[in-house]
Chains A and B, each alone.
Chain A
């Protein structure tokens, strides 16, 4: 299952949205190097100011390019719970990034959000309004999504995984709940955090819902049957094997997370 990773080494979808007056970056990428590439792509297209850098959640593959945009003096926009998550995890992620990338990690920093979103926030880019929603615990406890009203594009970030196995790092039950709510919002297309850059909505969320529900159902059954946390994954969502990239790499850990959450029910 690792071959697709080698063919296509980008792992998170990052990008920007251009208004008449300003630009909003949606996730600056996983390192300063990637952030610089994104900034160069923006500057090849426009001189308009980069007014916002939206950090969709705490995971390093989405946000470690943020510092590159410091000289643009944007507002960094994050979920109201992002500062807490960064406080807990930022240092750890940064140390691991430096271990993994060496010199390539240079300039990658933890950047604190300057605007926090607790429920909803509209950003005006000039003739183009973005609606940001702060979600309850799902993929992480600090997930933001972005709706572009001009093109009816719903940027779900890591609330939506397509082809690549979803990673549970917030709340499984919460994710299923958020998924029910976001799939009720009509859009012409969606942008997942991982997978193709544009997918049909809400149809593209169906495999993720199916996987998460299978994990919830089978993990509850394993807990009830007295199967321990270390072995539970062997009994959970086996029907999903072969349907996702990186299944064997992330599935056991997802079940560990699900078990730890659901054993309190």
Chain B
């Protein structure tokens, strides 16, 4: 056994990939220019400044599970109709498109993504009739898309499609309801080849997620392989009846045309 082997093991278990030739900043900008054109056409994408922020660790502990949060300034939040999450150097760069419903609170939305190489990560917020605002940050992570994720394959099969939801206190009527949703799904990328059969494990990922509260849309998500195994979402809801009881429903459609649905009651806020 060699020292290089020892370092190799450390590298694949922590960052997922060996160092490779890095694109120049100019090449990165050219890539973004292409992507921007492909996704937004001729629409103007403005720098968000302090209005929109994208949070993610500068260096990921596990490139297959990188937490990302998009935050919007309170003044702008009511104008936001959706978010695009873009990972420039991923095989499929448009990781997620959130379309917000009327009762979503756009101040914060978070998920976990796979990152394949050192890359810019971008959140583009879309306003009702106005401009697109972009926040970007650079992140050091590699190998997340082709990296094996499932640690316990039997459990992954058994739990497929199950969801778990939790929410914060409903103490103050003026505060949004903070919700965390977990969906058990391999969300596999189709990028793992079986060395014995020489076949690729088929991609099997969540295509859409729709969340409602008392039948009203909170958000609809269109996503693909860049969302981590067992997709996780944190979001905020402003129910039209801020203190009354409610029902949260989540519907998932995956690329194998499976449909999963689950509902959770939300008790009325305690009397103040």
Contacts and interface: CB of A to CB of B under 8 A. Distances in A.
Interface of A: 5-6, 9-12, 29-31, 33-34, 59-61, 81, 83-94, 96-97, 99-101, 104, 109-110, 112, 137, 140-141, 167, 169-171, 174, 226, 228-230, 233, 246, 249-250, 252-253, 255-257, 260-261, 263-264
Nearest to A94: B195
A137 B155 contact: yes
B42 interface: no
B67 to A, nearest CB: 5
Contacts of B13: 167, 169, 250, 253
A90 to B, nearest CB: 4
A141 to B, nearest CB: 5
A88 B201 contact: yes
A100 B5 contact: yes
A9 B2 contact: yes
A61 B1 contact: yes
B196 A110 contact: yes
Interface string B141-183: 0010011101111110001000010001000000000000010
B4 interface: yes
A112 B18 contact: no
A223 to B, nearest CB: 10
B153 A30 contact: no
A141 B9 contact: no
Contact of A233 (B5, B12, B61, B168): B61
Interface in B31-66: 56-57, 61-62, 65-66
B9 A61 contact: yes
B126 interface: no
B216 interface: no
B2 A104 contact: yes
Contacts of B201: 87-88
B72 to A, nearest CB: 18
A260 B10 CA distance: 20
B3 A9 contact: yes
Given A60-B12, A83-B196, A229-B65, 18 more contacts: A9-B3, A11-B1, A12-B1, A60-B8, A60-B9, A61-B1, A81-B153, A84-B153, A85-B153, A86-B195, A87-B196, A96-B11, A101-B5, A137-B151, A141-B153, A263-B232, A264-B164, A264-B182
- The 9 closest A-B CB pairs, nearest first, are A100-B8, A110-B195, A87-B194, A9-B3, A89-B148, A10-B1, A91-B193, A90-B195, A252-B61
A88 B150 contact: yes
Nearest to A91: B193
Interface of B: 1-14, 17-18, 56-57, 61-62, 65-67, 110, 112, 143, 146-148, 150-155, 159, 164, 168, 182, 184, 192-197, 201, 230, 232
A104 B193 CA distance: 23
A31 B5 CA distance: 8
Nearest to A229: B67
A204 B193 CA distance: 38
A174 B1 CA distance: 30
A113 to B, nearest CB: 10
Among B5, B12, B192, B195, max chain A CB count under 10 A is at B5
A256 B9 contact: no
Contact of B12 (A5, A84, A96, A112): A96
B195 A169 contact: no
Contacts of A252: 61
B3 to A, nearest CB: 4
8 contacts: A10-B1, A61-B9, A88-B201, A92-B148, A100-B18, A171-B155, A228-B67, A256-B62
Contacts of B67: 228-230
A45 to B, nearest CB: 20
A192 to B, nearest CB: 15
A85 to B, nearest CB: 7
A9 B6 contact: yes
A31 B6 CA distance: 11
A86 B196 contact: yes
A94 B8 CA distance: 11
Contacts of A85: 148, 153
Contacts of A230: 56-57, 61, 66-67
B26 to A, nearest CB: 26
A84 B164 CA distance: 27
Contact of B61 (A11, A256, A263): A256
Contacts of B5: 9, 11, 30-31, 34, 61, 100-101
